[in-house]
């Protein structure tokens, strides 16, 4: 008896071989049957499925097309055809095939899910979400659809939605370690580190030998400030996978966090053993070596990282910091300029470069660089603070005031910013009451901030509130007893208000302090002159003060010999050309110069009082220059021009 259909047993044999993974045998048997039964749609569909598993997608497409030509309502064949086109990244054809399958069988959950996969790969996320949701509405316990929907939300950086759907997967199948791990990653990215740790630990309870999860758990512990637990986790990861360089690198970072630099260096070197050209490990090794005191090796290591990856800006930043701390500011500046060519929009580079210029007293260059940083991001408080410092040194006090205010508006909890603002208010704007408020605010934020205590003391002294100044100086000494000139400042405040409490005890200690600190400024020479009559000590304190506060300066070029003038020109500089003891003692000096041979200039950087003594001095010199509002550089240039 002749039949147009193959026996069911023959079909079952092909399906069994396919199901057991014997794809070539299944294909051979199906092709053999098709010789006798070329109009059998099921055989063509099975043949296509075999080709799919063997990676022969074009042959698979031909087989599915034949099945569909025989049976135009064959939903499974359209479904398989869509999968073949998807493998070839022919998304449009794949979408059409899956949609045709769904038209034939609208409750085909797998077709909706796979259509979602195609949309996701085609970056059509909204359509992907709709397809996954349809699959889930048909089959609420469809784990793959829930997981794929979660990963689509991850693609969209909607981590809360991702976690929500992954939790639904866990509710369906709580034994999926990778899903617990994915939830942990989402929580980590959201900054929910404690919750992330719990999820990673659940994943490891299910699958203890997952080295990647152990590593991620270590990262979470680092974020929680628990480097020891991080070390334990990274070590577990390495026990499972000892050849993975990233785990060694992360272990090194944890050791460095703990201050175990020797172990950190060893771990970074181990990472480089498995991946010698890993720039991140070289960068981290360079930092650890520097912190270990191996400066030259650290510099060499970071330069090697730059050679391997010239566009790795982090290495330039780290190298510049090391060079700066090693007093190689010129090299550090070159380093940061190179970093700017790599990323001209990195505000940290400009801020660091501006700080270097500021340290070298290149104030105009510093200001321009900080302003470049602000153009990139006008909401960084530290940069406005640095601009304020620079403008203050440039004696552009009103502009400095505005910059400090902007810094504090962005970060009112910075003790440093309040202290700097207070210094401007006190030293340059004579707003002492406001300055006191700023210093007290800085101290309330950071009670052991000795600079704020010291500035508060100086301000109280300036407005002759000597009792308050004494207490502030004592508070400063309690924090930093060896601070330069602090003892002399305390003496000065005490003497100004006739406070002789413990005076003799303090007086007995000052000689010890001056003699015991080598090249350390511990006492202001002017104050010392009012206390003792020891020329050797007076000379030593003067030398220490001069070398410390007024070192040799090379900002200006050496002056050439000036042309001969008919008269020798002499300039006197003072803030006290007024009713003041200095003026009283020197007024006659200016008047008595032999005008046939000398030309006398006075440069006044004090207030123009126009009192009797001020008018006498103006009349007693040949030229009187009021330079109170001029910067130091402008005063120097004026004097040189004369």
The per-residue pLDDT for range 135-149, each reduced to its tens digit, is 999 999 999 999 999
Q: What is the pLDDT of residue 521?
A: 60
3-state secondary structure of 292: coil
Residue 512 confidence (pLDDT) above 70: no
Q: What is the pLDDT of residue 515?
A: 63
User: Quick one: which of 35, 33, 36, 168 has its CA closest to 46?
Assistant: 33
Q: Which residues of 41-63 are buried (b: 16+ CB within 10 A; e: fewer)?
A: bbbbbbbbbbbbeeebbebbbbb
DSSP state of 570: E
Ramachandran bin of 604, using left for φ above 0, alpha for ψ from -120 to 50, beta for the remaining angles: beta
Mean pLDDT computed over every residue of the chain: 92
Burial class (CB in 10 A: 0-12, 13-18, 19+), 105: middle
3-state secondary structure of 568: strand
Mean pLDDT, residues 77-100 taken together? 95
The per-residue pLDDT for range 582-617, each reduced to its tens digit, is 999 999 999 999 999 999 999 999 888 999 999 999
Position 520 confidence tier, pLDDT thresholds 50, 70, 90: low
Collect all residues with Cβ–Cβ distance below 8 Å to 462 and sequence separation of at least 6: 426, 432
Calculate what percentage of the chain has a pLDDT beyond 70: 97
Residue 1 confidence (pLDDT) above 60: no
Q: What is the pLDDT of residue 513?
A: 64
Q: Strand (E) positions, 105-217?
A: none
Ramachandran bin of 560, using left for φ above 0, alpha for ψ from -120 to 50, beta for the remaining angles: beta
**Measured distance CA(81)–CA(65) in Å, rounded:** 8
Q: C-alpha distances in angstroms, 599 versus 126, 571, 636?
A: 87, 9, 18
User: Quick one: which of 423, 470, 469, 475 has its CA closest to 446?
Assistant: 475
Residue 580 confidence (pLDDT) above 80: yes
Residue 266 confidence (pLDDT) above 90: yes
**Measured distance CA(361)–CA(369) in Å, rounded:** 13
Phi–psi pair at 606, nearest 5 degrees = -110, 180
What are all long-range contacts of 518-526, with beta carbons under 8 Å and residues at least 24 apart?
A: 519/544, 519/547, 520/482, 520/484, 520/544, 521/484, 521/485, 521/545, 521/548, 521/549, 522/482, 522/484, 522/485, 522/487, 522/488, 523/485, 523/487, 523/488, 524/485, 524/488, 524/489, 524/492
Position 6 confidence tier, pLDDT thresholds 50, 70, 90: confident
Mean pLDDT, residues 444-452 taken together? 96
> Does the model's pTM come out above 0.85?
no
Q: What is the pLDDT of residue 210?
A: 95
Q: C-alpha distances in angstroms, 404 versus 98, 390, 392, 417?
A: 63, 11, 10, 7
The per-residue pLDDT for range 465-497, each reduced to its tens digit, is 999 999 999 999 999 887 878 888 888 999 999
Q: What is the pLDDT of residue 531?
A: 81
Position 511 confidence tier, pLDDT thresholds 50, 70, 90: low
Collect all residues with Cβ–Cβ distance below 8 Å to 594 and sequence separation of at least 6: none
Residue 196 confidence (pLDDT) above 60: yes
Q: Which of 15-29, 274-288, 501-515 has the least mean pLDDT?
A: 501-515
Q: What is the pLDDT of residue 487?
A: 84
Q: What is the pLDDT of residue 514?
A: 65
The per-residue pLDDT for range 127-182, each reduced to its tens digit, is 999 999 999 999 999 999 999 999 999 999 999 999 999 999 999 999 999 999 99
Mean pLDDT, residues 377-395 taken together? 95
3-state secondary structure of 276: coil
Q: What is the pLDDT of residue 519?
A: 55
Question: Starting from the edge strand earliest in sequence, which strands make up the sheet with 568-574, in order?
Answer: 568-574, 598-604, 623-626
Position 558 confidence tier, pLDDT thresholds 50, 70, 90: confident
Q: What is the pLDDT of residue 524?
A: 83
**Measured distance CA(477)–CA(455) in Å, rounded:** 13
Provide the Cα torsion 86, 88, 91, 95; round to 10°: -40
Mean pLDDT, residues 338-362 taken together? 92
Q: What is the pLDDT of residue 73?
A: 93
Q: What is the pLDDT of residue 2?
A: 43
Tokens at residue 350, please?
Answer: 């400009």
Q: Which residues are paired to 598 by β-bridges?
A: 568
The per-residue pLDDT for range 417-445, each reduced to its tens digit, is 999 999 999 999 999 999 999 999 999 99
Q: Which residues are paired to 515 by β-bridges?
A: none
**Measured distance CA(79)–CA(109) in Å, rounded:** 11
Q: What is the pLDDT of residue 518?
A: 57
């Amino acid at each position: 008896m002749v039949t147009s259909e193959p026996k069911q047993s023959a079909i079952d044999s092909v399906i069994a071989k396919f199901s057991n993974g014997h794809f070539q045998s299944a294909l051979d048997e199906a092709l053999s049957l098709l010789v006798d039964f070329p109009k059998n749609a099921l055989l063509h569909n099975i043949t296509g499925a075999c080709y799919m598993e063997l990676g022969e997608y074009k042959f698979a497409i031909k087989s599915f097309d034949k099945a569909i030509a025989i049976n135009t309502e064959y939903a499974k064949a359209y479904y398989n055809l869509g999968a073949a086109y998807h493998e070839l990244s022919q998304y449009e054809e794949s979408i059409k095939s899956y949609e045709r399958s769904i038209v034939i069988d609208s409750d085909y959950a797998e077709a909706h899910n796979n259509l979602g996969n195609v949309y996701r790969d085609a970056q059509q996320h909204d359509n992907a979400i709709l397809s996954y949701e349809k699959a889930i509405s048909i089959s609420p316990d469809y784990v793959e659809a829930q997981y794929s929907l979660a990963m689509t939300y991850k693609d969209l950086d909607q981590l809360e939605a991702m976690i929500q759907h992954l939790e639904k997967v866990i509710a369906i199948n709580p034994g999926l370690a990778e899903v617990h791990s994915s939830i942990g990653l989402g929580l980590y990215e959201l900054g929910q580190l404690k919750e992330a740790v719990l999820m990673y630990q659940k994943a490891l309870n299910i699958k203890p030998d997952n080295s990647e999860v152990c590593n991620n758990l270590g990262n979470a512990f680092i974020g929680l400030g628990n480097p020891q637990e991080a070390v334990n986790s990274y070590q577990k990861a390495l026990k499972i996978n000892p050849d993975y360089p990233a785990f060694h690198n992360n272990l090194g970072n944890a050791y460095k966090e703990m201050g175990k630099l020797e172990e950190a260096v060893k771990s970074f070197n181990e990472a480089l053993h498995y991946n010698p050209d890993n720039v991140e490990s070289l960068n981290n090794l360079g930092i650890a070596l520097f912190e270990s005191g191996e400066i030259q090796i650290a510099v060499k290591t970071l330069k090697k990282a730059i050679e391997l990856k010239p566009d790795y800006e982090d290495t330039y930043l780290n190298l510049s910091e090391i060079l700066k701390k090693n007093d190689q500011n010129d090299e550090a500046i070159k380093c940061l300029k190179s970093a700017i060519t790599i990323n001209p929009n990195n505000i940290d580079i400009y801020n660091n470069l501006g700080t270097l210029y500021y340290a070298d007293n290149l104030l105009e260059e510093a200001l321009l660089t900080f302003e470049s940083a602000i153009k990139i991001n006008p909401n960084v408080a530290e940069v406005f603070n640095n601009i304020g410092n620079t403008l203050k040194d440039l004696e552009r006090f009103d502009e400095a005031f505005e910059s400090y205010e902007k810094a504090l508006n962005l970060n009112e909890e910075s003790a440093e910013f309040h202290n700097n603002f207070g210094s401007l208010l006190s030293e340059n704007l004579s707003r002492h009451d406001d300055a006191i408020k700023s210093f007290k605010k800085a101290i309330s934020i950071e009670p052991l901030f000795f600079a704020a205590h010291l500035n508060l003391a100086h301000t109280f002294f300036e407005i002759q509130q000597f009792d308050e100044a004494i207490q502030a100086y004592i508070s400063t000494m309690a924090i930093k007893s060896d601070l330069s000139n602090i003892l002399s400042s305390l003496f000065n405040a005490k003497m100004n208000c006739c406070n002789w409490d413990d005076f003799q005890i303090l007086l007995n200690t000052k000689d010890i302090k001056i003699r015991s600190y080598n090249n350390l400024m511990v006492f202001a020479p002017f104050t010392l002159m009012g206390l003792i009559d020891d020329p050797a000590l007076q000379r030593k304190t003067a030398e220490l003060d001069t070398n410390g506060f007024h070192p040799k300066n090379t900002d200006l070029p050496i002056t050439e010999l000036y042309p001969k003038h008919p008269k020798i020109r002499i300039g006197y500089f003072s803030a006290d050309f007024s009713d003041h003891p200095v003026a009283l003692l020197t007024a006659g000096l200016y008047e008595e110069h032999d005008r046939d041979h000398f030309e006398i200039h006075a440069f006044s950087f004090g207030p123009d009082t126009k009192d009797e003594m001020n008018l006498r001095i103006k009349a007693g010199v040949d030229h009187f220059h009021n330079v109170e509002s001029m910067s130091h550089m402008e005063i120097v240039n004026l004097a040189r021009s004369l």
